[in-house]
A and B are shown apart, each in its own frame.
Chain A
Amino acid sequence: MKKLSDKMEKFEKNLQEKLRDFQVQPPEEMWDAIESRLVQKQGKKFLWLRIAAAILLLVISITSLVLYLPYGRITEPLAEISFPEDDLLPPVSEPLAAEPDSDILSFTDETETFISTTSEILIAEVQSIDFNVLTDFSGITGLLKINPKEYDDQLAFSYTFDKFHARSSFIFDESKDVADFDDKKSGLLAADLIKTPGSAQRGFTLAAYLAPQQSFRYQRITASIPYETLESEIFSFAAGMKFHYKLNSRWELESGIGYNLIGQAVNGITAFSHPSMIPLYSSKGELINSHPQSMSTSMGGINFKDQSFYFADIASSRVNALKGSYEENNVNLLNKSASGLIQHFGYIEVPLVFRYKIIDRMFSMSVKSGVAANFLYTNNVYLQGSAYTRSIAESTGVSAISWSGTGGFSLGYPINDRMGIVLEPTFTMFLTPMGQFRSLTRETYPYNYSLFMGLRYKL
């Protein structure tokens, strides 16, 4: 009986050996069938989203460009422009129509050239668990095995390096032997697949984005001048590059560098052309060369340096002439040339944001929240004509560094294994006042509603 039992055991063992890893090549058309099922499954479900995202991206990008082209123009000096004699304006004390005659001024455009460059950034990604490290750099993958040894109570390291041609990454645990490295190619390949979409594997993702945004500010302390009604939000943009580092299957850490343009429109300010031959007198009869004029806004003061303009506030009392006030009769001799100011603040933004993935299928969705350091980079006040925009001053009293908080959603959809489209509705608000302004007691916190649109690339 024992003999029989042994024989049966041998029979089983033989069968097991014969069949366990037995391979049969499936018919060639099998893969086509599987692939079509995969495409159907992924494509049908999210095709509409891909199309909608592409259309949205296109529409908003074109809109942004069209809306922003005027800000890239440089106007010729006002002094060279002649004004019709009969085009006089009513006294400033009466509200003025906010529409300057477009025939009065004509400017030559020197349109800035927008140069778009793309750079390929390669980053060595090191995956490390215990002692075996796989590196992936520019398509060459290698295994670096570090062997820690105890030597005279010191930890010493020796290493071996091996490379092959699969562009992949794989985490080896301590027990795996480098000798069977080739056998792990299957795992490596799988690891590469797992990178997209949704992966438990750590790694970097690079993203470039453009974000149209509505920019305005919150004023914590109400000032005597009703700025709320005298200023309005503007459409601006942000753009930049981000790196995401995947901490695990859910959490990502994001940083990068971006340019964030914020600001506001200052309404009710009228600019008169002020040819130098027309003297201005104060109400006391003193000759005034009242420049530099200055004014207050909720986003800092403005010192007007351009003496070819004389500014008046037709809606409130925000403009001060440092050496006196204007004589209405004289002002009436001037021509209204433009009305409305736009304050722009360009910040270089360095964010630190955490993302948590809620949906991690082909389509992904995350919530994000974090902070950013904002370094003031550009500061301009533009005078807005009907056909031109001219930089005339800087805002004063604005802090060089501010901190902001950000939060929002991130929606992602892959284009292929590595690339994907990203849409991120985001709210950002300054956590620190943008400046402590001299003679102004208000505290102003800019905020934006942005739609980050971009492309991500898994490195």
Chain B
Amino acid sequence: MQGELYKMFAPKMYGLCLRYSANIQDAQDLLQEGFVKVYDNLENFKWKGSFEGWMKRIFVNLALDRYRSKISLLSIDDVTENQEPPDNDLNALDSISEKEILELIRKLPDQYRMVFNLYVIEGYSHKELGEMLKIRESTSRSNLARAKMILKEKIQFHSQRIEKAI
């Protein structure tokens, strides 16, 4: 029965783990730890809201814990918020697969990756991010801007490379 639950949710949760981790090994560790925690805490599920959402929160919180445990090793400079990416072709996104985007996200610095995931994908606000990551709200904004810029540049670079190849 435990195996069935795993089969049902593992692909989604693994996708999430890959988004929050710097490498495959970290993602697999997070997946393992997350499922153990889910099984341990099944009794605490209150039947309010979706089960999948509850499960995702467990994984996201674990990723946050992991991030916080190594936060002291990081030193990321704030960048100004209005440092928007250049106005290039934003349709580049169509030419890149999810797996390739994941690869690019993984290469982001840890704090950028956390901010990007929590804000863009999970939908938390900068205020919430500030509390979760113990950073200033403005830092969260600037980290996000930088993360998006890096991603976008890389996606465009990737897109251009494909166009040249064609």
Chains A and B belong together in one complex: yes
* Contact string against A for B residues 64-87, beta-carbon threshold 8 Å, 1 for contact and 0 otherwise: 000000000000000000001101
Q: Are A23 and B11 in contact (CB under 8 A)?
A: yes
How far is the CB of A87 from the nearest CB of chain B, in Å?
Answer: 70
Interface residue A393 (Cβ < 8 Å from any Cβ of B): no
How far is the CB of B112 from the nearest CB of chain A, in Å?
Answer: 14
For B8, B98, B102, the residue with the greatest tally of chain A CB atoms inside 10 Å of its CB is B98
Interface residue B4 (Cβ < 8 Å from any Cβ of A): yes
* Chain A residues positioned under 8 Å from B101 (CB to CB): 15, 18-19
* Contact string against A for B residues 21-47, beta-carbon threshold 8 Å, 1 for contact and 0 otherwise: 000000010011001100110110111
Q: Are B51 and A26 in contact (CB under 8 A)?
A: no
B-binding segment of A116-124, A191-199, A394-402: A191-199
* Chain A residues positioned under 8 Å from B6 (CB to CB): 31, 34
With A26-B28, A187-B50 known as contacts, the answer to whether A12 contacts B11 (CB < 8 A) is no
Which residue of the partner chain, among A5, A25, A26, A38, contacts B2 with CB atoms under 8 Å? Answer: A38
Q: Which of A12-60 contact B (CB under 8 A)?
A: 12, 14-16, 18-27, 30-31, 33-35, 37-38, 41
Which residue of the partner chain, among A20, A27, A37, contacts B36 with CB atoms under 8 Å? Answer: A37
Distance, CA A34 to CA B84, complexed state (A): 43
How far is the CB of B119 from the nearest CB of chain A, in Å?
Answer: 9
Chain B interface size, under 10 / 10 to 19 / 20 to 34 / 35 or more: 35 or more
Q: Which of A177-209 contact B (CB under 8 A)?
A: 185-187, 189-190, 192-194, 197-201
Interface residue B9 (Cβ < 8 Å from any Cβ of A): yes
- Nearest B residue to A167 by beta-carbon distance? B1
Q: Are A30 and B15 in contact (CB under 8 A)?
A: no
Which residue of the partner chain, among A24, A31, A189, A193, contacts B18 with CB atoms under 8 Å? Answer: A24
Chain A interface size, under 10 / 10 to 19 / 20 to 34 / 35 or more: 35 or more
Distance, CA A187 to CA B9, complexed state (A): 11
Secondary structure type dominating chain B contacts = helix
- Nearest A residue to B29 by beta-carbon distance? A33
Interface residue B10 (Cβ < 8 Å from any Cβ of A): yes
- Nearest A residue to B89 by beta-carbon distance? A7
Interface residue A11 (Cβ < 8 Å from any Cβ of B): yes
* Chain A residues positioned under 8 Å from B152 (CB to CB): 11
Interface residue A221 (Cβ < 8 Å from any Cβ of B): no
* Chain B residues positioned under 8 Å from A21 (CB to CB): 12, 15
Q: Are B93 and A18 in contact (CB under 8 A)?
A: yes
Q: Are B43 and A23 in contact (CB under 8 A)?
A: no
Q: Are B51 and A24 in contact (CB under 8 A)?
A: no
How far is the CB of A129 from the nearest CB of chain B, in Å?
Answer: 8
Give 5 CB contacts A-B under 8 Å.
A12-B148, A15-B120, A19-B15, A186-B52, A201-B47
| Residues in A lying within 8 Å of B, measured CB to CB | 3-5, 7-8, 10-12, 14-16, 18-27, 30-31, 33-35, 37-38, 41, 171, 173, 185-187, 189-190, 192-194, 197-201, 249, 360, 417
